[in-house]
Amino acid sequence: MPGPDPRRPLGPASLPRAFDAHARSYDRMVASNRRYHDHLRLSARRMGLARSSGLRLLDVGCGTGASTAALLDAVPGAQVVAVDASAEMLAQARRKNWPPGVRFVHARLENLDRAGITGPFDAILAAYLVRNLPDPDAGLRVLHDLLRPGAPIAVHEYSARDSLRSRMVWDAVCWGVIIPMGRLRSGSTELYRYLWRSVREFDGVGAFTDRMARAGFTDIRTQTMTGWQTHIVHTFLGRRPVEDDPALDADAGRPADLADVETPPAGSPSVG
Ligand SMILES: C[S@@+](CC[C@H](N)C(=O)[O-])C[C@H]1O[C@@H](n2cnc3c(N)ncnc32)[C@H](O)[C@@H]1O
């Protein structure tokens, strides 16, 4: 599978093609980060979902299925629609064993309706996706509109801009470990240099929470991870406002079927 045009710098439009080219080495790359899967599970759990097999969940930018597995860890037996723009990343995901409620769909977030993916979803996980979108504001609005009123989203994402220490750790990890390892595993450093640059340029925590608010989310909270990822990788939590439900009488409070969406547990690692 040829990668993107080497004469043009990698960016949101060409990124799915770059993931196509790296799909076969992706799982080995993330396996060398021993907290990768733990952190995805943490973000999925932080949505505080009931372990009800009736829930319909969206994993957008599912890649090889690591975030799909994290959603299933939080809600075993859920119905999960897992979407990705890279056919090769999806091919890697489909090779794994999944319960019957999981469906993989090849589509860009920007064209989900054309792929027949419509809401409402009871929760959405977007792991390492939003930073890569051509228009993150528009992408967040799409995700907001796909949620059932009152339902949560977890955006699992790098955000290092607000802290000098975070930026220094990020530079050291990228140039000392990730980029050299990318060269060894895949023969190319382009995707991993893009990763370094895109995180360097992406929103700080304050800017990203403002972005979520502008997209219409409410109840926005941020929690960070453990290890070197502390204050570098975050779960950005939010909800579609309950008031968005046209069926809801403003004085009547929450509809009964929202009772299974709980506030995330207290005592998770520190606020990012
Ligand atoms: C870094 S991977 C993360 C995969 C997975 N969520 C995980 O946590 O391991 C980002 C994924 O987002 C996908 N992606 C990038 N832009 C996208 C878009 N506009 N719509 C859908 N998927 C996209 C890429 O193809 C890639 O598989």
- Domain of 230, CATH number, reads 3.40.50.150
CA distance 179 to 84: 24
Residue 103's domain comprises 15-158+203-246
Report yes or no on 181 lying in a domain: no
Evaluate whether residue 210 is within a structural domain: yes
pLDDT confidence of residue 258: 41
Quick check: 3 pLDDT over 50? no
93 falls within a domain: yes
Are the C-beta atoms of residues 40 and 68 closer than 8 Å to each other? no
Dist. CA 52 → ligand 1 center (Å)? 26
Q: Is the peptide bond before 265 cis (omega within 30 degrees of 0)?
A: no
In this structure, is residue 257 part of a structural domain? no
C-alpha span between 95 and 168 (Å, rounded): 37
pLDDT at 145: 97
Q: What is the mean pLDDT of residues 183-198?
A: 90
Task: Summarize pLDDT for 120-138 with one digit per residue, the tens.
Answer: 999 999 999 999 999 999 9
Does some domain include residue 258? no
Per residue in 156-180, pLDDT tens? 999 999 999 999 999 999 999 999 9
Q: How far is CA 18 from CA 3, 91, 150, 171, 187, in A?
A: 5, 15, 36, 22, 13
Q: Does any domain span residue 94?
A: yes
pLDDT score of 262: 36
pLDDT at 254: 46
pLDDT band at 248 (very low <50, low <70, confident <90, very high): low
φ, ψ (nearest 5 deg) of residue 93:
-60, -45
At 268, the pLDDT band (50, 70, 90 cuts) reads very low
Tell me what percent of the residues of the chain surpass a pLDDT of 90. Answer: 73
> Quick one: pLDDT at residue 259?
37
Q: Would residue 165 count as lying in a domain?
A: no
Q: Which two tokens stand for residue 180?
A: 């050299």
pLDDT digits over 86-117, tens only?
999 999 999 999 999 999 999 999 999 999 99
Residues with CB under 6 A from ligand 1: 15-16, 19, 40, 61-63, 66-67, 83-86, 89, 108-110, 127-129, 132-133
Q: Could you tell me the distance, in angstroms and rounded to a whole number, from the CA of residue 16 to the centre of ligand 1? A: 7
Confidence (pTM)? 0.88
Does residue 143 fall inside a structural domain?
yes
The number of distinct structural domains making up the chain is 1
Radius of gyration of the chain, Cα coordinates, nearest whole angstrom: 18
Which residue is closest in CA terms to ligand 1's atom 24?
Answer: 16
